[in-house]
């Protein structure tokens, strides 16, 4: 005889079976039993529902659609690779751990006032707000000593059907390899087409790279950024977070925006936009409603690391000037200088005591520079250039920087309250401030440890006895070349042997380091090179001016 527990268990299992059978029947029949509000069962049916259909209508394309279709093919995805420094024989670089620091600049002509340590006052918090977005996919974007290959991502756009591309300098900075992927390239293609650096300008954070093309490539048109107005619609195209050909839209929020008040930002006067731009958009175009590029998306200000409505693009008029200099035979931007240092944004009290409303108060004069040779003195107030009144420091810097070295200008001055003038011969900004640049380079060398890598962008080692015997010469062999570096611009490549620099022997690493350590910005540097693969070809002489 079954126990009470067994009988209850049998009834429960039977009830579950009946319920499952009922639910199965309801599903097959297209209806089911459901409890009502008061727990009562009601019958629901979808027999009277009408199936949905897609309406076959046509929406006329707006301007954003037209621009995306027209310009998109000329916007490229840029991948860079930074190889482990140990594998290349060098020391690991320091990491910024995800906070991308503003790009270091050489001390420039007419710099704003700096403290004794050379750091611009009031900028201590800027790196936490300013993010250059050349990738952001990895917290450490530089090759280090952990054996990892670093990859970063950015954007660019083709301006010449032969394969010339404009992007940001920080996209390719310190990269050992640069690859470009076109919108028509297959997604499963590994990295893309190998690119080489034509030239770069740190002061504006712009660079020109080139890929080989078997047929003409699609290009963009450069518009006039001066005629763009606050409130104009704009469109951005790029590769945020690896999503290539991403299109966003917004308006111009402001013009002539300065986000770095120090010497680093002297030539960076941005277009501000609220078009969504994120890590990976860097180097991509900002377009007006004619589909013309009016800016290169360069920076964002954010506390989260992503879009917060504050994006900045380098104006196209500046881009065109820099591009034309970078594709010139010297592959560099030459800016004028008179060799003075001043401070921006002086208080009204200073203006009143010294008796001027507009102009620039000279606070330091570079020894041996153009201003000293022309007789300028500390305390002089520059009020005009060739008869045109000077408003402020930015106005002065822009005017002088645009002049070619060797040309003369007439400065209007106030000296001890009395008007006077002086004729000054414009100098090359890099050469005028070469000593200051050399001091910074020596500091960098002490911190990073390898003068070849710091100043020239190469890592070398001594040649083997077998190679020396083959070449009948001693020297150092190039192990790696950093893309965009001085050595890269001179077409140095791994495997070549450097036997002399500026007529000084570099038969071993010690000699090489000694010669390179003495080089400074503005120096002419000539390498005497031999190729072990072609020992009979003799010595090749290549060189350029160190930037």
Cβ partners under 8 Å of residue 276, min gap 6: 236, 240, 248, 250, 307, 311
SS3 519: coil
| Tokens matching residue 143 | 């090759």
SS3 146: coil
Closest CA to 269 of 299, 289, 244, 242: 299
| Phi then psi dihedrals of residue 375, to 5 deg | 90, 15
105, 202 Cβ separation under 8 angstroms = yes
Q: Would you call 170 a catalytic residue per the annotation? A: yes
Give me the catalytic one of 109, 110, 152, 170. 170
CB atoms within 10 A of CB 150: 23
151, 382 Cβ separation under 8 angstroms = no
Alpha-carbon dihedral 262, 265, 271, 277, rounded to 10 degrees: -100
DSSP secondary structure letters along 222-255: E--GGG--TT-EEEEEE-GGG-TTEEEEEEEEEE
504, 516 Cβ separation under 8 angstroms = no
Adjacent-strand bridge partners of 16? none
Q: Would you call 534 a catalytic residue per the annotation? A: no
Q: What whole-number distance in Å separates Cα of residue 32 and Cα of residue 494?
A: 75
Closest CA to 156 of 271, 241, 239, 248: 239
Cβ partners under 8 Å of residue 473, min gap 6: 497, 499, 530
Q: Would you call 331 a catalytic residue per the annotation? A: no
SS3 366: coil
Give me the catalytic one of 109, 110, 201, 205. 205
Length of the chain: 547
Q: What is the CA radius of gyration of the chain?
A: 32
* Residue 454 DSSP code: I
> Could you give the residue numbers annotated as active site?
170, 205, 282
């Amino acid at each position: 005889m079954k126990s009470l527990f067994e009988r209850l268990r049998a009834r429960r299992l039977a009830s579950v079976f009946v319920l499952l059978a009922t639910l199965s029947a309801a599903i097959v029949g297209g209806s089911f039993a459901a409890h009502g509000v008061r727990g009562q069962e009601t019958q629901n049916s979808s027999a009277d529902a009408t199936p949905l259909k897609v309406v076959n209508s046509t929406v006329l394309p707006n301007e954003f659609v037209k621009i995306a279709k027209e310009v998109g093919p000329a916007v490229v995805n840029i991948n860079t690779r930074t190889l482990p420094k140990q594998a290349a024989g060098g020391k690991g670089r320091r990491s910024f751990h995800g906070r991308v620091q503003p790009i270091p600049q050489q001390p420039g002509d007419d710099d704003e006032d700096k403290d004794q340590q050379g750091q611009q006052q009031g900028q201590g918090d800027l790196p936490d707000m300013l993010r250059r977005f050349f990738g952001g996919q990895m917290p450490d974007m530089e090759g280090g000593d952990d054996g990892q290959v670093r990859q970063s991502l950015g954007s660019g756009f083709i301006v010449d059907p032969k394969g010339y591309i404009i992007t940001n300098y920080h996209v390719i900075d310190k990269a050992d390899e640069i690859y470009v992927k076109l919108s028509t390239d297959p997604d499963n293609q590994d990295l893309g087409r190998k690119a080489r650096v034509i030239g770069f300008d740190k002061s504006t954070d712009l660079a020109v790279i080139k890929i080989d093309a078997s047929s003409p490539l699609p290009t963009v048109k450069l518009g006039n950024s001066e005629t763009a107005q606050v409130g104009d619609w704009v469109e951005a195209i790029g590769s945020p977070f690896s999503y290539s050909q991403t299109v966003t839209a917004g308006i111009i929020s402001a013009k002539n925006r300065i986000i770095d008040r120090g010497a680093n930002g002297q030539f960076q006067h941005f277009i501000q936009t609220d078009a969504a731009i994120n890590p990976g958009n860097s180097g991509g175009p900002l377009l007006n409603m004619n589909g013309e590029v009016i800016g290169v998306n360069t920076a964002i200000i954010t506390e989260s690391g992503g879009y917060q409505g504050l994006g900045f693009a380098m104006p196209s008029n500046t881009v065109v000037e820099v591009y034309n200099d970078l594709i010139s035979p010297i592959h560099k931007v030459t800016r004028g200088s008179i060799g003075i240092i001043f401070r921006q944004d002086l208080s009204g009290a200073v203006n009143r005591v010294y008796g001027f409303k507009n102009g620039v108060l000279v606070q330091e004069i570079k020894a041996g520079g153009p201003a000293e040779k022309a007789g300028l003195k500390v305390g002089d107030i520059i009020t005009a250039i060739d008869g045109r009144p000077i408003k402020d420091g930015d106005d002065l810097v822009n005017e002088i920087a645009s002049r070619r070295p060797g040309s003369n200008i007439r400065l209007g001055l106030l000296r001890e309250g009395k008007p006077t003038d002086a004729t000054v011969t414009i100098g090359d900004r890099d050469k005028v401030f070469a000593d200051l640049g050399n001091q910074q380079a020596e500091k960098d060398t002490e911190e990073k440890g390898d003068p070849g890598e710091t100043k020239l962008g190469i890592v070398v080692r001594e040649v083997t006895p077998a190679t020396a015997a083959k070449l009948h010469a001693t020297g150092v062999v190039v192990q790696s070349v950093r893309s965009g570096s001085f050595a890269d611009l001179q077409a140095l490549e791994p495997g070549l042997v450097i036997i002399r620099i500026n007529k000084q022997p570099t038969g071993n690493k010690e000699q090489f380091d000694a010669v390179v350590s003495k080089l400074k910005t503005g120096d002419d540097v000539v390498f005497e090179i031999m190729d072990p693969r072609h020992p009979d070809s003799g010595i090749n002489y290549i060189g350029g001016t160190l930037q």
